[in-house]
Amino acid sequence: MTADTQDLVHYDAVVIGAGFAGIYMLYKLRRLGLSAKVYETGDDVGGTWYWNRYPGARCDVESLEYCYSFDPELAQEWEWTERYPAQPEILRYAQHVAERYDLYQDIQFNTKVTRAAFDDRTGRWLVSSAAAIDHIDHNHAPAGATTDLVAADYLICAVGCLSSSNVPDISGIDTFAGEVCHTGRYPKEGIDFAGKRVGVIGTGSSGIQAIPVIAETAEHLTVFQRTPQYAIPARNHPLDPKEQAQVKAEYRRLREKNKAQQGALGARFDWNEGSVLDVEATEAFKEFDARWEIGGFAFLGAYGDIARNPEANHVAADFVKAKIRETVTDPEVAERLIPTTYIGCKRLVLDTDYFATYNRDNVALVDISENTIAEITSRGLCTADGTEHDLDVIVFATGYDAMTGSLLRIDVCGRGGLSLAEQWHAGPRTYLGLSVPGFPNMFTITGPGSPSVLANMIVCIEQHVDWIGDCISYMRAKGHRHIEASEEAAEAWVDHVNLVASYTLYPTCNSWYLGANIPGKTRVFMPLPGFPPYAEKCDQVAAAGYEGFQLISS
């Protein structure tokens, strides 16, 4: 970057992304009296909940827990309508927050940050952005030329863990005559599936939510499944105002209790510590049945060792397999839907009528685990055995280049021109998931190495934003100009994350937690299991004068 940086507009902080992390960060920076600018690719706030407009899109964390807690008045005034919030309601909530705290004025929409480089000469970040160009695969950089270049003391990346959509590189994709979309980049105007032959590729959380809804209107739906998934009924329902009032009467206590849970959620359910192996199978099945009726992640709380012990995991998995066989009337289809991995090793999916959907006459299941998709033609999709599936619409529910994709698609360069891609060539290396060695004054909200996607994202976001805010206040009070994680601290932190993960069954399957869904991506377990010890560690680091960081005053 050769611009004369003296002439540039300068902000105390630039924030990338106006999802839940970005808008709370902006609120926090304002409260600290700092000037800030937020850049956002979409044309409104909401982040992942702006883009994920696919049919059936709904959060798998309960509404009363999937919201901010920083302002008790906000928490009391917003009324949720359902147990699990649907995408439009979450988007309205994000818009409400942005309006309530007058945040819109500092957010520049339809703008994509293309490059952020630390200028060794001035000690500031130089941030380039361009007009965003909508495209199904937003991993690709936009074609627009740089339109804006600003300088900032702090660069705060609030880019989201699941925002860089993964569209597989299938030959012929551009020749398809029908409509193509990705669930994470779903068209605002929606898609009318009536009278159409639809193909859905992918059976993760997004596919499993979309499939039953699409099946209701499509003439025919073909599901292309590479790996079967465990799904537990969500048991969504309208929220009883009395129940909501009761929860809100003790809201602060509930939110605090949640923070003491491993996943920072579900404090209203019992999370048993006992082993499923200490009880008779009939008793265990009775407990699982009760939790199956409650719905949601309460299922995983039945016993403490499901996520850790293979034998214990089998008992829980067998229960769900029995439910699939009970629900799906065609035994051959049921067997194709039975997962072979550990339950919970890929993110457990909450569903509404997913397995029952395969009993419909207009739904077919195609196993592409071995008979892979060979090509897409103008008429549809062709599998390796030569079978042609004629389609009018193809929905990619193929997930994300998770946790690192959104950051790496920006050209981020730290001290001495070190690129983030180089720094992370062997997998993401952060200290606390908040900071990267070589990248002074850059913070990553819910970055790799923090609990993030293994916990309630909103709780994780608030904890990170509060920590970053406190850190900046500390630096200003002490006259420190730069903060940077040390190489040793990041090294030790990566080892710690891997060690904690190795006590669980998470690393045993090809999940996006490991980057295994993206061809060529280095396989490293990225999120850290366990919110409470993590938050405690962050507090300890701060209390010890930001141990593991170098603080520089000039």
Binding site for ligand NAP (CB under 6 A): 58-60, 162, 168, 183, 201-207, 209, 226-227, 347, 368, 397-400, 453, 512, 517
Kindly tell me which of 97 and 200 has the beta carbon lying closer to ligand NAP: 200
Give burial (CB, 10 Å; 0-12/13-18/19+) of 465. buried
Tell me which residue has its CB nearest to ligand NAP. 204
Mapping DSSP to helix (H, G, I), strand (E, B) and coil, where does residue 346 land? coil
CB of 55 to ligand NAP, least distance (A): 12
CB of 552 to ligand NAP, least distance (A): 37
Structure tokens belonging to residue 148: 């804006």
CB of 324 to ligand NAP, least distance (A): 16
CB of 200 to ligand NAP, least distance (A): 9
Kindly tell me which of 103 and 170 has the beta carbon lying closer to ligand NAP: 170
Closest CA to 87 of 133, 132, 138, 47: 47
Kindly tell me which of 214 and 397 has the beta carbon lying closer to ligand NAP: 397
| Count of CB atoms situated within 10 Å of the CB of 201 | 24
Kindly tell me which of 217 and 510 has the beta carbon lying closer to ligand NAP: 510
CB of 164 to ligand NAP, least distance (A): 11
Calpha distance 434→447 (Å, rounded):
6
Percent of the chain that is helix, strand, coil (3-state, to 5): 35, 20, 45
Structure tokens belonging to residue 74: 């906000």
| Count of CB atoms situated within 10 Å of the CB of 258 | 22
Kindly tell me which of 259 and 346 has the beta carbon lying closer to ligand NAP: 346
Closest CA to 88 of 42, 44, 57, 47: 57
CB of 341 to ligand NAP, least distance (A): 9
Kindly tell me which of 13 and 458 has the beta carbon lying closer to ligand NAP: 458
Handedness of CA 297, 298, 304, 305 (dihedral sign): negative
Pairing status of strand 220-225 against strand 231-233: unpaired
CB of 507 to ligand NAP, least distance (A): 15
Kindly tell me which of 27 and 513 has the beta carbon lying closer to ligand NAP: 513
The full DSSP string for 57-86 is -B-SS-TTTSS--S-HHHHHH----BSS-B
What residue ranges in 53-176 does DSSP mark as E strands?
Answer: 107-108, 111-119, 124-131, 146-157
Calpha distance 207→367 (Å, rounded):
15
Kindly tell me which of 97 and 402 has the beta carbon lying closer to ligand NAP: 402
CB of 337 to ligand NAP, least distance (A): 12
Asked if 410 contacts 116 with a C-beta cutoff of 8 angstroms, the reply is yes
Calpha distance 225→199 (Å, rounded):
11
Kindly tell me which of 183 and 463 has the beta carbon lying closer to ligand NAP: 183
CB of 192 to ligand NAP, least distance (A): 22
CB of 460 to ligand NAP, least distance (A): 13
Residue for token pair 């090793």: 345
Kindly tell me which of 373 and 485 has the beta carbon lying closer to ligand NAP: 373
Structure tokens belonging to residue 85: 């919030």
Kindly tell me which of 104 and 269 has the beta carbon lying closer to ligand NAP: 269
Pairing status of strand 549-552 against strand 482-485: antiparallel
Asked if 16 contacts 158 with a C-beta cutoff of 8 angstroms, the reply is yes
Kindly tell me which of 441 and 452 has the beta carbon lying closer to ligand NAP: 452
Calpha distance 128→116 (Å, rounded):
6
Calpha distance 431→450 (Å, rounded):
9
CB of 290 to ligand NAP, least distance (A): 22
Closest CA to 355 of 237, 233, 236: 233
Helix (H) or strand (E) holding 407: helix 405-408
CB of 193 to ligand NAP, least distance (A): 19
Asked if 103 contacts 27 with a C-beta cutoff of 8 angstroms, the reply is yes
